[in-house]
C-alpha cells in the first residue's frame, strides 16, 4: 500500500479527532452503513471492482444494488482495468479542501477500447508536481485513509478505511 | 378543459452580491426589498406561492427547512406552494420552470422565486470544504475535487487542444463581462474594469486559468415574481415578458458518466437547449440576448457553441470577434454574468431572469436594441445538468 494519507487520526482531520459524519471527506465504507461495502473490501485485496447485471450484462460505475439500465437486483462483482492513460490533467496549489495535501494532481483518465469504464476523474498520487505528462500510463493504487468510530450498543467500534487513486507507471 | 394560463416574469431584484457582512435571511430580505422597489404595486398578500432555491442554507446557515424561515421574514402567507428546492447553481432557474408549470396549470397565481446563499464562513477553509458535499461525495470528491477550477481547467485544456482555443480568446469573455457589469451597483465587483493585458497577467488559479477566468463565490440573494398574465397586468404597466419554453437535462453525477466524446463537448447542454427551443417554438437565430453560465471563461465559450449561437469549436473566435458585445450577433451576460456580478449558487438563475426581463422590457442598463427574445442558462454540479429558459415579448400561441 502506498503511504499517501496520515492515518493516526480517527475521524475528520479538519476537526482534530472529533467525528461529525456530515464533515467526513471519505465514504461510509463499513457494512453497517453501506450495501456496496464489498467494493471497499475488494480495495483491501488490491482489486478495482464494480457491479455487473446478470440480466442485461450492463457494467455500471459506481457500483450499486440495482442495475441502472434494467433495474434488476441480480448483480455480480467484476474487476475493472487497473491501468489507464492520462488524457489531460491539472495541478492545484490553492483552494484544495483541507485534508488533501497540496498540490493535488487531478487527471482525466481514459481506459481505452473494450473497457466497461471509459473515463474517470482521479487523483494522481506518488507523483511530484511537474512530473506528469499527457499520454502517461498510470496504475491503480490503494491506501489507508482515516478511520471513523461507530456506536455498537455501549461500545465504540473503529471502522478502518481505504481509498484508491492512480499513480504513474515508472 | 380550461384554457392554459400564460406565465410571465413581472420583475425582480437582488441583494448586493459579494463577501457580505450579513446572514442568509438578511440577504433574502434585501432581495425582497429590491424586488418590491421594482414592482411597487406588489404587496405581501398578493403572493400565494413561494419557492426558495438554496444549496448551502442547510449547512452554512443551519437552515435545512428554509422555506418557512423565508415565509416568516418576508411576511408571506402562501396557500398554493411553499417549498425549498436545490439544484445547486441552477436552483432558482429550476424554480422558474416549476413556477411556470404551477401558474400555467392554475395551481398558483403569483409566485415568489427567491435564491440565496451564505457562502463565506467565519473561517474561510469551511467554504472550500463544503464543496466536497456538492460534488459526488463518495467518488469524485474523495479524489480531492472540491471547488470546481481543476475540473473546468481540464475542460479548457481539452477545448484548446481540440479546437485551438487560446488564453487570449478566453480573456475576451472576462473583459466583455467586466465592462458590462462595472455599473451594476449590486455586482460583486461593481466599479472594477478589466483589460486583456490585466486578464492575461493575472495570477494562475489552475492552469490554464488565471484569476479572471474564474467567477467568484459570492454571498447574495435574488427575488423575482412569476405570475399569471392577468395578475401581472394588475401589478404593472410595463410590457409583459412571457416564459415561452424550458428544458432541463441531467445525465450523470460523477465523472465516469460524462456524456461527451471528450470534456470539450457538452451534448447534454445541446439536449436541454433543443428542448427549450422546441417548447418556445424558436431557434437560436431568434434569440436577441442571452445570459449563460459563465462560471469560467471557457464555460461561456462552450455554451455559445452548444446553444447554437456559433459552430462547434468556433466559440473562441466568436467571443474574440465581438459577437457577445452590444451590437454583436448575441450580446451575452449583459449585467456582468457570474464572472462579474458574482455567483451565490441558488441566486444566479433568478439574477439572469431579472436581466432578461429588463432587456425585453427595454429598460436594461446595457440595452440590446429591439430585444424580443431572450435566453438564460445554468449548468450545475460538475457540469452534470443543464437548465435553459427562453423568454419572449409575446407568448407561444
Ligand atoms: Zn441490467
Can you give the pLDDT at residue B328? 98
Can you give the pLDDT at residue A9? 66
Residue A124 belongs to a domain: yes
Average pLDDT for residues A150-169, to the nearest whole number?
Answer: 94
Residue A116 CA to ligand 1 center (angstroms) comes to: 14
For residues B247 and A23, give the distance between their C-alpha atoms in angstroms, rounded to a whole number.
34
| Dihedral angle computed from the Cα positions of residues B139, B141, B143 and B145, in that order, rounded to the nearest 10 degrees | 140
Stretches where chain B sits below pLDDT 70 are: 1-2
Q: Of A97, A119, A165, which is closest to B146 when you measure between CB atoms?
A: A97
Which tens digit of pLDDT belongs to each residue from B121-176? Answer: 999 889 989 999 999 999 999 999 988 999 999 999 999 999 999 999 999 999 99
C-alpha cell at B51: 419557492
Best probe of the A interface among B137, B142, B153, by most A CBs < 10 A, is B142
Instruction: Give yes or no for a contact between B173 and B300, defined as CB atoms under 8 angstroms apart.
Output: yes
Nearest-5° angle of CA B121, CA B127, CA B130?
125
CATH number assigned to the domain covering B138-215+245-392: 3.40.47.10
Q: A120–B256: do the CB atoms touch at under 8 Å?
A: yes
Kindly give the pairing relationship between strand B110-117 and strand B49-53: parallel
Residue A84 belongs to a domain: yes
Domain span holding position A124:
6-168
Which tens digit of pLDDT belongs to each residue from A75-129? Answer: 999 999 999 999 999 987 677 788 888 788 999 999 988 999 999 999 999 999 9
Can you give the pLDDT at residue A1? 47
In chain A, how many domains are there?
1
Task: Share the mean pLDDT of chain A.
Answer: 91
Best probe of the B interface among A22, A40, A89, A90, by most B CBs < 10 A, is A90
Residue A162 belongs to a domain: yes
Given this chain, do its domains B7-122+218-235 and B138-215+245-392 carry the same CATH topology?
Answer: yes
Q: A87–B158: do the CB atoms touch at under 8 Å?
A: yes
Is residue B72 packed enough to be buried (19+ CB in 10 Å), middle (13-18) or exposed (0-12)? Answer: exposed
**% of chain A surpassing 70 pLDDT:** 94
Can you give the pLDDT at residue A4? 63
Helix/strand/coil for B304: helix
Best probe of the B interface among A95, A102, A163, A166, by most B CBs < 10 A, is A95
Residue A110 belongs to a domain: yes
Interface membership of A21 toward B (CB under 8 Å): no
Kindly give the pairing relationship between strand B220-228 and strand B110-117: antiparallel
Q: B157–A92: do the CB atoms touch at under 8 Å?
A: no
Residue A63 belongs to a domain: yes
For residue B94, how far is the Cα from the chain centroid?
10
Could you tell me how many CB contacts below 8 A there are between chain A and chain B?
A: 96
Which tens digit of pLDDT belongs to each residue from A4-33? Answer: 655 566 777 777 767 888 889 999 999 999
For residues A94 and A37, give the distance between their C-alpha atoms in angstroms, rounded to a whole number.
33
Q: A106–B154: do the CB atoms touch at under 8 Å?
A: yes
Can you give the pLDDT at residue A12? 72
Q: B150–A14: do the CB atoms touch at under 8 Å?
A: no
The residue count of chain B comes to: 397
Interface membership of B123 toward A (CB under 8 Å): no
Residue A1 belongs to a domain: no
Q: Of B142, B157, B207, which is closest to A27 when you measure between CB atoms?
A: B142
What CATH topology corresponds to B7-122+218-235? Peroxisomal Thiolase; Chain A, domain 1 (3.40.47)
Can you give the pLDDT at residue A97? 82
Interface membership of A16 toward B (CB under 8 Å): no
Task: Name the CA radius of gyration of chain A, rounded.
Answer: 17
Q: Of A26, A62, A95, which is closest to B256 when you measure between CB atoms?
A: A62
Interface membership of B262 toward A (CB under 8 Å): yes
For residues B93 and B354, give the distance between their C-alpha atoms in angstroms, rounded to a whole number.
11
Residue A70 CA to ligand 1 center (angstroms) comes to: 4
Can you give the pLDDT at residue A3? 55
Give the list of residues 6+ apart from residue A71 with CB closer than 8 angstroms, or none. none
Nearest residue to B292 via CA among B280, B317, B310, B278: B310
**% of chain A surpassing 90 pLDDT:** 73
**Does the pLDDT at position A2 exceed 60?**
no
In sequence order, what DSSP letters do the residues of B74-134 get, joined into one string? HT---SSEEEEE--GGGHHHHHHHHHHHHHHTTS-SEEEEEEEE----SSTHHHHHHGGGT
Q: Which residue ranges make up each domain of chain B?
A: 7-122+218-235, 138-215+245-392
The pTM assigned to this predicted structure is 0.96
Amino acid at each position: 500500500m502506498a503511504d499517501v494519507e496520515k492515518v493516526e487520526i480517527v475521524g475528520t482531520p479538519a476537526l482534530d479527532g472529533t467525528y461529525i459524519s456530515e464533515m467526513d471527506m471519505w465514504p461510509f465504507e463499513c457494512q453497517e452503513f453501506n450495501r456496496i461495502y464489498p467494493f471497499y473490501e475488494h480495495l483491501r485485496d488490491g482489486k478495482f471492482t464494480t457491479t455487473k447485471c446478470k440480466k442485461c450484462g450492463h457494467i455500471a460505475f459506481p457500483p450499486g444494488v440495482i442495475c441502472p439500465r434494467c433495474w434488476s437486483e441480480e448483480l455480480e462483482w467484476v474487476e475493472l482495468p487497473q491501468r489507464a492513460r492520462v488524457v489531460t490533467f491539472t495541478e492545484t496549489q490553492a483552494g484544495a479542501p483541507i485534508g488533501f495535501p497540496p498540490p493535488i494532481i487531478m487527471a482525466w483518465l481514459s481506459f481505452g477500447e473494450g473497457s466497461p469504464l471509459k473515463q474517470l476523474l482521479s487523483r494522481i498520487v506518488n507523483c511530484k508536481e511537474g512530473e506528469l505528462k499527457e499520454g502517461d500510463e498510470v496504475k491503480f493504487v490503494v491506501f489507508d485513509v482515516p478511520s471513523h468510530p461507530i456506536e455498537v450498543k455501549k461500545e465504540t467500534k473503529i471502522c478502518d478505511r481505504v481509498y484508491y487513486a492512480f499513480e504513474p507507471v515508472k | 378543459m380550461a384554457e392554459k394560463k400564460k406565465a410571465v416574469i413581472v420583475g425582480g431584484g437582488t441583494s448586493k452580491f459579494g463577501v457580505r457582512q450579513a446572514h442568509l435571511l438578511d440577504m433574502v430580505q434585501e432581495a425582497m426589498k429590491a424586488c418590491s422597489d421594482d414592482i411597487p404595486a406588489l404587496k405581501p398578500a398578493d403572493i400565494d406561492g413561494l419557492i426558495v432555491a438554496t444549496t448551502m442554507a442547510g449547512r452554512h446557515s443551519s437552515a435545512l427547512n428554509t422555506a418557512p424561515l423565508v415565509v416568516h421574514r418576508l411576511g408571506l402567507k402562501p396557500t398554493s406552494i411553499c417549498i425549498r428546492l436545490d439544484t445547486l447553481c441552477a436552483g432558482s432557474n429550476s424554480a422558474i420552470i416549476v413556477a411556470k408549470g404551477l401558474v400555467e396549470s392554475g395551481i398558483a397565481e403569483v409566485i415568489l422565486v427567491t435564491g440565496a446563499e451564505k457562502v463565506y464562513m467565519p473561517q474561510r477553509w469551511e467554504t472550500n470544504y463544503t464543496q466536497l458535499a456538492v460534488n459526488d461525495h463518495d467518488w469524485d470528491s474523495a479524489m480531492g475535487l472540491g471547488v470546481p477550477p481543476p475540473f473546468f481547467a481540464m475542460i479548457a485544456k481539452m477545448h484548446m487542444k481540440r479546437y485551438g482555443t487560446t488564453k487570449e480568446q478566453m480573456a475576451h469573455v472576462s473583459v466583455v463581462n467586466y465592462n458590462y457589469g462595472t455599473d451594476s451597483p449590486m455586482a460583486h465587483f461593481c466599479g472594477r474594469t478589466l483589460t486583456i493585458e490585466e486578464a492575461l497577467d493575472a495570477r494562475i488559479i489552475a492552469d490554464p486559468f488565471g484569476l479572471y477566468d474564474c467567477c467568484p463565490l459570492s454571498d447574495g440573494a435574488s427575488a423575482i415574481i412569476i405570475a399569471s398574465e392577468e395578475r401581472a397586468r394588475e401589478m404593472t404597466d410595463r410590457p409583459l415578458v412571457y416564459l415561452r419554453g424550458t428544458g432541463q437535462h441531467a445525465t450523470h453525477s460523477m465523472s465516469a458518466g460524462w456524456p461527451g466524446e471528450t470534456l470539450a463537448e457538452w451534448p447534454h447542454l445541446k439536449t436541454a437547449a433543443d428542448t427549450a427551443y422546441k417548447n418556445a417554438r424558436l431557434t437560436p437565430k431568434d434569440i436577441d440576448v442571452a445570459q449563460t453560465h459563465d462560471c469560467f471563461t471557457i464555460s461561456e465559450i462552450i455554451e455559445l457553441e452548444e446553444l447554437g449561437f456559433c459552430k462547434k469549436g468556433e466559440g473562441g473566435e466568436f467571443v474574440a470577434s465581438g459577437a457577445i458585445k452590444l451590437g454583436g450577433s448575441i450580446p451575452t451576460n449583459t449585467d456582468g454574468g457570474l464572472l462579474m456580478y458574482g455567483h451565490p449558487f441558488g441566486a444566479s438563475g433568478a439574477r439572469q431572469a431579472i436581466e432578461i426581463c429588463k432587456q425585453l422590457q427595454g429598460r436594461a442598463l446595457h440595452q440590446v436594441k429591439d430585444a424580443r427574445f431572450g435566453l438564460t442558462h445554468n449548468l450545475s454540479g460538475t457540469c452534470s445538468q443543464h437548465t435553459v429558459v427562453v423568454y419572449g415579448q409575446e407568448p407561444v400561441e
